[in-house]
Each structure stands twice: as C-alpha cells, then as structure tokens.
Amino acid sequence: MKMYEELGKRTAQVEAVVEQYLPEEAGHQKTIFEAMNYSVRAGGKRLRPMLMLETYRLFGGQGKEIEPFMAAVEMIHTSSLIHDDLPCMDNDELRRGKPTTWVKYGYDMAVLAGDALMIYAFETAAKACQEGPGEKAGLVARAMGLLAAKTGIYGMIGGQVVDVELTGRPVGREQLDFIYRLKTSALLEASMMTGALLAGAEEDQLRTVEQIAAAVGLAFQIQDDILDVTGTPEQLGKPVLSDEKNQKTTYVTLEGLEKAREDVARISAEALKLLHSLPGENLFLEELIQMLVTREK
C-alpha cells in the first residue's frame, strides 16, 4: 500500500511538470491545441517521464533541466498513441477509458495532433537550455540527439513500420523481438538514458542503463500482450483482444501464456540485477520496475 501511495504522489508531481509545458488553448488554431491537450491529459502511467526523473535522481541529478525532457517524452509517447489508434492503424475507439483522439476530433485533426505533439516535444526539450547552467548545454544537445534517434526511423517509428508491414503475416521470434525493441523499448531507453546523461553518468554507465531499459521495455510489452488476452476493457481502459482483431502476432501467440509469464519474470530479474550493478541507490526506481512488469492494467 505504501508503494502505491508513493506512486500516486510522484505521478502527481510528474503530471504537474508535464502540464506546465502544454500549449494554451487560444488563437485561430485553437482546435489543434485542444486535441493535443486532450490526448496528453487522458491519463496514463506517466511511466517514461517518471523513469527519466528517477534515473536522473539515481545518478545524483538535482537541476531543472530534466523537466522539459520529461514533458517532451510524454508528448512523443502520446503522439504515438494517437497515431496507433487511427483507423488506418489499429482502428481503436477507446484509450484509457475515453474516446480516442480521432473519435473525439476527427481523423484529420487526430493526424495533425499527433504530428504537432511530435514537433512540439522537441521545441519543449530545447527549453532545457534555459533551465540548466551553461556547462550543461552540451549534455542537453546530446540528450536531444538521443531522444530524436530513439524516437525516429532507427527507434520507435522504425519499429512501428515493421509492425504495420507484418500485420496479418507470419512473424518469427527474431522479427518480433526487433519490433518490441524499437517500438516499445526505444522510448524507455531514451527516457532512462536521458536522465542518466543529464545527471552526468559515465559512458559505460549509460550503456548499462540502456540495457536495463531494453529489458524493462521487453518485459513491459510481453506483459501488455498477456493483459490483452487476460484483461477486461474495464480493467485496462481500452479494448481487449485488439491484437487478435488486427491479426497481429504477439509474444503470447508465439510462445504461449505460461512461457510469456515466465519470461516476464526472468527478463525483469535481469533488469534489476543490472540496476544493482550501478552506483547509488533508488529504491523507488527498483520497486517501480517490479510493479510495471507485474501490473494487472
């Protein structure tokens, strides 16, 4: 119970950070601002900015330059969800218990809202230059490059491309691992590595953080596949059996439910072992990782 109370408190802190960077809903293009804000405010775990902040704290970070990046990564994540839900992609009408952006604002405005959030994310991240001391400018620039690389064609979007192209076709384990590594893990890697980078982590430590995030991302996605089969719409806030409806191969369809559960436990244990190899201690981060891969919603 104590962990859930602490999680609620820290989620509220992350929400406050993200909120302060959202655009004002005014002007001739007001509709796009409303659609962007509706999508970001729809809720969610705020996993990526939280992991970013807690990794930053693990390495002793204490400044404000982390905050624009926290907002930026949540905007990027939300952008991907808007596009995932579109009729040309997963064709979902419910997200986090609310109408998806295209249902609420129309197909055209949802496409624009997703595009707008992606661009606005980097405009927001650039504001970190105004938050940190001058000597951190180089780290901010590196972090922006890292965020772009993990988001783009060699990261999240690249994973989405392969996922879309292989929908309804046989997918092997190697291809599925590739999709999961890019589509899900890449943005988690960007989040945790950005936190470590801005706090001054060394290069070998950054590589370890990347490995941790990759493992967490894989375990998280496998658990998502499990919940798509075992959960309910009320529990998850979105349709279940969505992957089956869209004829998508998942970890569960390839390996079976029992093996999927065993692998979640194994992969998350590997992530925690790597976390313990790093200097410093962040018990909340450790418990957060454990919670994410054993969640029921």
Q: Does 8 score more than 80 pLDDT? A: yes
What is the average pLDDT across 79-106? 94
Label residue 109 by pLDDT band (50, 70, 90).
Answer: very high
* Cβ–Cβ < 8 Å for 57, 288: no
The pLDDT tens digits for 213-245 are 999 999 999 999 999 888 656 555 555 556 555
pLDDT of res. 243: 59
Contacts by residues 127-136 (CB-CB < 8 Å, ≥ 24 positions apart) = 127/21, 127/68, 128/65, 128/66, 128/67, 128/68, 128/69, 128/198, 129/65, 131/63, 131/64, 131/65, 131/67, 131/68, 132/63, 132/64, 132/65, 132/198, 133/63, 136/63, 136/65, 136/198
pLDDT of res. 168: 84
pLDDT averaged over every residue in the chain: 91
